[in-house]
Structure 1
Amino acid sequence: MAQRTGEIMTEQLRQWGVNHIYGLPGDSINEFIDDIRNKDDLDFIQVRHEETGALAASSEAKLTGNLGVCLSIAGPGGIHLLNGLYDAKGDHAPVLAIVGQVASTSLGTDAFQEINLERMFDDVAVFNKRAESHEQLPDMLNQAIRTAYAEKGVSVLIVPDDLFAEKQKEGETLTTPGYFRPNIFPAQEDMNKARDLIEQAEKPLILAGKGASGAQEELISFAEKAGAPIIVSLLAKGLIPDNHPYCLGHHGQIGTKPSYYAMKETDLLILIGTQFPYAEFFPKDVPGFQIDNKPENIGKYYPVTAGLAGDAKATLASLISTMNKTEDYSYLEKQQERMNNWRVALQKEKREEKTPIQGPQVMYQIEQLMEPGAVVSTDVGNVTVWAARFLSFLDQKFLISGQLATMGIGLPGAIASQIVYPDKQVIAICGDGGFSMSMHDFVTAVKYQLPIKVIILNNEKIGMIKYEQQQMGHISSETDLGPVNFAGFAENCGGDGYRIESFDEMETKMKQAFMSDKPTIIDVCIEDMAPLPGHIDYTAATNYSQYIIKNFFETGTMDLPDMKKAARRMF
């Protein structure tokens, strides 16, 4: 029986486990939209901007490990996808973008909205091909999805819209759906070398990333046997509870003081499932070994002594079974004492009762209302620091744009999270700058009745960029955004909105907002306050001093940081 090619492709997508596609209809995908319309178990999630669709697909893939799918027209629609697709590339998320193209009979004629899509997607995609005939499409779709899973990246399938309407016989494809994951295990000599390094070390330290997901039990058992504290990458927040006695929080610019000193003092760095890219925060001339299921990642950012190419869970389990338990926990205990002092300092900071409201105070209120198993989608900016450092996770899921660090991810991530997990609490934490980049799609949450809670830390500035300029010794420039009442915007979209302007009203209004069964925005007016790094080095302090002097001569005022809080981070 002959079927439309688009109809065959919708069935293939279902066989791959896809049950929804993010996108916006248009003239070069209208044939495929009609096939999706007639497929009862394949939903089309209509967004207001293709960038939101790609960011949502990327977010879904990062959350679940399953394929995220987005759809766009040729020309402007395909261009809009790029930011979300680069986010997926940077964080190694399997995503499929089906991109329409002008009719096959018009290709190469500079037709309306025709651009060179293959060239445009070349850098972002691990699979990037245009179908020349309808007979190719089913096999190309299977290959595109299989490659996205195998390479943990973006596949782009470009299709002239007329090919979707062409009919062909069902079952004449050359390939079948399905991806079979390889079972990778390190060579024994590399395992022996790693075990020797552990047993020789007196101050072992673990830096664990998202690649250790699914191996939490083995990770903790390994850390206990080695006497090694654990630093988690930003993407891996929630990998182990933030209050776990072995957890030292994050590292780098957003990191904790204990993680900085632990990294400075270690004599063995153990990298597990991470590609932490900031070389300046690594120790110097310290041996290390790395566990990663992609051999090409080993030694990519740190010169390791041994490389274990294998799955984190199986590799750690094997190491645990053969290594001797350490008898010296002095290094661990020293870091634990530091971390306990750090936690006490953070608790004092986030429990302060004062107006204007500060970011840490908002995190404390969210913490009181955050449910077990909740998903927290965090935008990029100062809010990243507040959420990473002050919002304590036990078993919640954390979602962010890591490698690309694109502003505007908070809302699309929350939309995807609520679609994937309809029964879980979903919270987006955004700055006013990040939210305004994707706020148009709050109406998407309203349309699909997604009861997400969007907390906006509104300081009327691009706060992190202002602080970065000051840290470089410059006068802040073009970082003021101006006032927006986001609570009013939420109500105009058909959702609920709450505006919080003083500390005294925060607890009550937060509770009211979290009781709503509608998409809700909580617009919190906060102080323009820089999130100081866990450790302030000499260069940063010197540059900031230059900024203070320049600012004084230009404005006649002294813009000084909270020195008590700065001191707590420095010493």
Structure 2
Amino acid sequence: MFRKKAGEVLIDLLIEWGVDHIYGMPGDSINSIIEPLRKVQDKIKFIQVRHEEAGALAAASYAKLTGKIGVCMAIAGPGAIHLLNGLYDAKLDRVPVLAITGQVESDLLGTDFFQEVNLERMFDDVAVYNQRIMSAEQLPAVVNQAIRTAYTKEGVSVLTIPDDIPRFEVESEARGTSSFFVRSEIFAREFDLEKARQLLERAEKPVILAGKGAKGARESLLSFADQIGAPIVITLPGKGVIPDEHPFCLGGLGLIGTKPAYEAMREADTLVMVGTSYPFTGFLPNSAKTIQIDTDPSQIGKRYPVDVGLAGDADKTLKWLTTHVTRHHDRSFLERCQQHMKQWWARMERQAENSSTPIKPQRVIQALQQVAHEDAVLSVDVGNVTVWMARHFRMTEQQFIISSWLATLGCGLPGAIAGKIAYPDKQVFAVCGDGGFGMTMNDFVTAVKYDLPIVVVVLNNHKIAMIKFEQEVMGNVEFGTNLVNPNFAQYAEACGGIGYRVEQPGDLLPAFQQAVSQTKPCIIDVLVDANEAPMPAKITFGQAAGYAKHMVKELFAERRIDLPI
């Protein structure tokens, strides 16, 4: 009677779980897994990346976009170590990812053999499930448990598989388990709902802060906002939960947010946090009554004091509140916020229409807006580019992903690769700074190899520009932020893609229009103004004083003037 080897069983189980592609780099300690994977390329496609970090970032991005588990693979030692950054991105943004890593053979463990690393210890902090496979018979149950745990705990599962295990046959007495998971339906206690209702009845200046957890609850969120007359402020991970130009939307909050959102929070007497555990509490009201809605009770009150916690699904909770709270007829606070937002958009429009050179970053986002479809996927990197996209790109139905909690440079390109694999018929853009793109640009050839016609937009100012601004706000002289970049358009051509170099504002829109019509991966390399600071919506005295101090230091540094003792 034919019995399958453990490597074959592993691949069969991944297929049962609906996995259709894996990001990775083949190598000696996973060759016994790569071989059975090779035989089922019609069911699970192997996406060979050029760096395992990009594979892990792509797996995390795929999970963010689809809700399905992202899978990445690496050899023991260096390959597994390279996965860590992408896995921490998945952990902090709470999405399901499975990492499969090789290991030295079982009888060599503990001998300090070539490429042997204590992977269980290394992955202990990042993983919600972290196991080394000890036998072929153990593998089926552990694989199922790893994937089930990643889904239910919204995190990273790691399976470390010694090189000999996949070659062993799985005996018939191996423990059998189920290849599926179930979700629970969470709803807040009636006692807590009633407390929230009473608090909302007394609200005169309510504000809603909506995060990622409110996605999928758009209609109930808008109905609730209308019922209580509240503007909606959006966190960065929640961008797109409602359209940016919706009458209730005040945009983002914090250093990358809008002035109307900042002002609304200053005035608010009642705050409703929906699906967010917002960390920058200095931007939240000082003394507002606060209601927090979250499916995870451990997040409620974790970072900001709340008066009422509602542990429940956002959609169902908001529907209950809308039904039970008396409609607020005084719309004066909401209308004042809306007027401020109209003025803000007019200000953003003026910035985007600036035709000076070097090109203003805001103008690049305006060009992107003109060609992006309603259902486009936007994978945004970290840095100043985050500010420009958060403030200036007006979301409608697009999907927006970013490394929101880890904020790791280099996430833009892997996210776009994952986006095109997930949605081959949609436009997919990577919007990157030159610093972020430089971190993972080697995997542009991965997009070329697999015929993924993504459009990579590089805001090229030869600077780590956000750090330049941070140094200046501290009152310091800029240091260590200059970059020496290649011509990214020529790089695209060298890789087998298509490149556009844009130095004049008038060439921006034609370059975008040509790029989105291509069937190959493209890079639009835009030379932008390095001195365009991502100024906060509201500048504090400390920031202004620090910037002034920096300017004085720059003056003396440039003229080499010695200050008197």
C-alpha displacement of 1:169: 4.2
Distance 1:170 1:23, change over 3 A: farther
Tell me which residue corresponds to 1:36: 37
Counterpart amino acid of 2:534? Answer: P
Q: Distance in 1 between matches of 2:171 and 2:4?
A: 6
Q: Distance in 2 between matches of 1:488 and 1:171?
A: 58
Counterpart amino acid of 2:406? Answer: L
Residue 537 (structure 1) aligned to one of 519, 540, 547: 540
C-alpha offsets along residues 250-286 of structure 1, whole Å, 9 cap, x if unaligned?
0011010001000110001100001111121111122
C-alpha offsets along residues 186-223 of structure 1, whole Å, 9 cap, x if unaligned?
00000001111111110110000111111111000000
Q: Is the 8 A contact 2:244 2:251 kept in 1?
A: yes
Counterpart of 1:28 in 2: which secondary structure?
A: helix
Q: Distance in 2 between matches of 1:76 and 1:360?
A: 40
Counterpart of 1:132 in 2: which secondary structure?
A: coil
Counterpart of 1:78 in 2: which secondary structure?
A: helix
Counterpart amino acid of 2:402? Answer: I
Tell me which residue corresponds to 1:565: none
Counterpart of 1:248 in 2: which secondary structure?
A: strand
C-alpha displacement of 1:35: 1.1
Tell me which residue corresponds to 1:4: 5
Q: Is the 8 A contact 2:269 2:287 kept in 1?
A: no
Tell me which residue corresponds to 1:366: 368
Counterpart amino acid of 1:532? Answer: M
Distance 1:170 1:458, change over 3 A: farther
C-alpha displacement of 1:508: 2.0
Tell me which residue corresponds to 2:236: 234
Q: Is the 8 A contact 1:126 1:148 kept in 2?
A: yes
User: In the alignment, is residue 244 of structure 1 matched against residue 252 of structure 2?
Assistant: no
Q: Distance in 2 between matches of 1:99 and 1:294?
A: 30
C-alpha displacement of 1:514: 2.1
Tell me which residue corresponds to 1:553: 556
Residue 148 (structure 2) aligned to one of 140, 146, 149: 146
Q: Distance in 2 between matches of 1:79 and 1:13?
A: 23
Counterpart of 1:134 in 2: which secondary structure?
A: coil
Residue 85 (structure 1) aligned to one of 84, 87, 92: 87
Q: Distance in 2 between matches of 1:176 and 1:338?
A: 55
Counterpart of 2:107 in 1: which secondary structure?
A: coil
After superposition, where does 1:386-425 map in structure 2 within 5 Å?
A: 386-425=388-427
Tell me which residue corresponds to 2:70: 68
Counterpart amino acid of 1:19? Answer: D
Residue 321 (structure 2) aligned to one of 305, 309, 319: 319
Q: Distance in 2 between matches of 1:158 and 1:117?
A: 7
User: In the alignment, is residue 285 of structure 1 matched against residue 287 of structure 2?
Assistant: yes
Residue 109 (structure 2) aligned to one of 96, 107, 113: 107
Q: Distance in 2 between matches of 1:2 and 1:184?
A: 43
Residue 492 (structure 1) aligned to one of 488, 494, 506: 494
Q: Is the 8 A contact 1:452 1:518 kept in 2?
A: yes
C-alpha offsets along residues 121-161 of structure 1, whole Å, 9 cap, x if unaligned?
11111111111111111100111111111111111111102
Q: Is the 8 A contact 1:497 1:522 kept in 2?
A: yes
After superposition, where does 1:189-268 map in structure 2 within 5 Å?
A: 189-268=191-270
Counterpart amino acid of 1:547? Answer: H
Tell me which residue corresponds to 1:346: 348
After superposition, where does 1:127-142 map in structure 2 within 5 Å?
A: 127-142=129-144
Q: Distance in 2 between matches of 1:506 and 1:70?
A: 36
Counterpart amino acid of 1:182? Answer: S
Counterpart amino acid of 1:328? Answer: D
C-alpha offsets along residues 45-98 of structure 1, whole Å, 9 cap, x if unaligned?
100000000000000011111100000111000100000000001100111101
Counterpart amino acid of 1:37? Answer: R
Counterpart of 1:504 in 2: which secondary structure?
A: helix
Tell me which residue corresponds to 2:277: 275
Q: Distance in 2 between matches of 1:311 and 1:170?
A: 42
Q: Distance in 2 between matches of 1:440 and 1:507?
A: 26
Q: Distance in 1 between matches of 2:246 and 2:74?
A: 44
Q: Distance in 1 between matches of 2:152 and 2:56?
A: 20
Q: Distance in 1 between matches of 2:505 and 2:529?
A: 11
C-alpha offsets along residues 418-444 of structure 1, whole Å, 9 cap, x if unaligned?
000000000110011100000000000
Counterpart of 2:71 in 1: which secondary structure?
A: strand
C-alpha displacement of 1:172: 4.0
Q: Distance in 1 between matches of 2:302 and 2:200?
A: 21
C-alpha offsets along residues 445-469 of structure 1, whole Å, 9 cap, x if unaligned?
0000000000000000000000000
C-alpha displacement of 1:331: 0.9
Tell me which residue corresponds to 1:426: 428
Counterpart amino acid of 2:273? Answer: L
Tell me which residue corresponds to 2:26: 25
After superposition, where does 1:293-332 map in structure 2 within 5 Å?
A: 293-332=295-334
Counterpart of 2:348 in 1: which secondary structure?
A: helix
User: In the alignment, is residue 16 of structure 1 matched against residue 48 of structure 2?
Assistant: no
C-alpha offsets along residues 214-239 of structure 1, whole Å, 9 cap, x if unaligned?
11110000000011100111011111
Counterpart of 2:400 in 1: which secondary structure?
A: strand
Q: Is the 8 A contact 1:3 1:170 kept in 2?
A: no
C-alpha displacement of 1:545: 0.8
Counterpart amino acid of 2:538? Answer: H
Counterpart amino acid of 2:315? Answer: K
Q: Distance in 2 between matches of 1:179 and 1:542?
A: 55
C-alpha displacement of 1:405: 0.2
Q: Distance in 1 between matches of 2:559 and 2:520?
A: 48
Counterpart of 2:82 in 1: which secondary structure?
A: helix
Tell me which residue corresponds to 2:382: 380
Counterpart of 1:211 in 2: which secondary structure?
A: helix
C-alpha displacement of 1:170: 6.1
Q: Distance in 2 between matches of 1:161 and 1:415?
A: 29
Q: Distance in 1 between matches of 2:513 and 2:287?
A: 51
Counterpart amino acid of 2:348? Answer: L
Q: Distance in 2 between matches of 1:476 and 1:225?
A: 49
Counterpart of 1:159 in 2: which secondary structure?
A: strand
Tell me which residue corresponds to 2:563: none
Residue 47 (structure 1) aligned to one of 34, 46, 49: 49
Q: Distance in 2 between matches of 1:510 and 1:481?
A: 25
C-alpha displacement of 1:556: 3.9
Tell me which residue corresponds to 1:567: none
Segments of structure 1 that go 5 or more residues without pairing to the other structure are: 558-571
Distance 1:220 1:6, change over 3 A: same
Q: Distance in 1 between matches of 2:501 and 2:291?
A: 50
Q: Distance in 1 between matches of 2:520 and 2:542?
A: 48
Q: Is the 8 A contact 1:88 1:95 kept in 2?
A: yes
C-alpha displacement of 1:513: 2.0
TM superposition score normalised by structure 1:
0.96
The range that moved more, 5-14 or 18-27, is 5-14
Moved over 6 A (4+): none
Counterpart of 1:392 in 2: which secondary structure?
A: coil
Counterpart of 1:355 in 2: which secondary structure?
A: coil
Q: Distance in 2 between matches of 1:509 and 1:420?
A: 26
Q: Distance in 2 between matches of 1:144 and 1:152?
A: 12
Counterpart amino acid of 1:60? Answer: Y
Q: Distance in 1 between matches of 2:445 and 2:267?
A: 50
Tell me which residue corresponds to 1:566: none
Q: Is the 8 A contact 2:503 2:527 kept in 1?
A: yes
Residue 167 (structure 1) aligned to one of 169, 172, 176: 169
C-alpha displacement of 1:352: 1.9
Residue 463 (structure 1) aligned to one of 462, 465, 473: 465
Q: Distance in 1 between matches of 2:85 and 2:47?
A: 19
Counterpart amino acid of 2:542? Answer: T
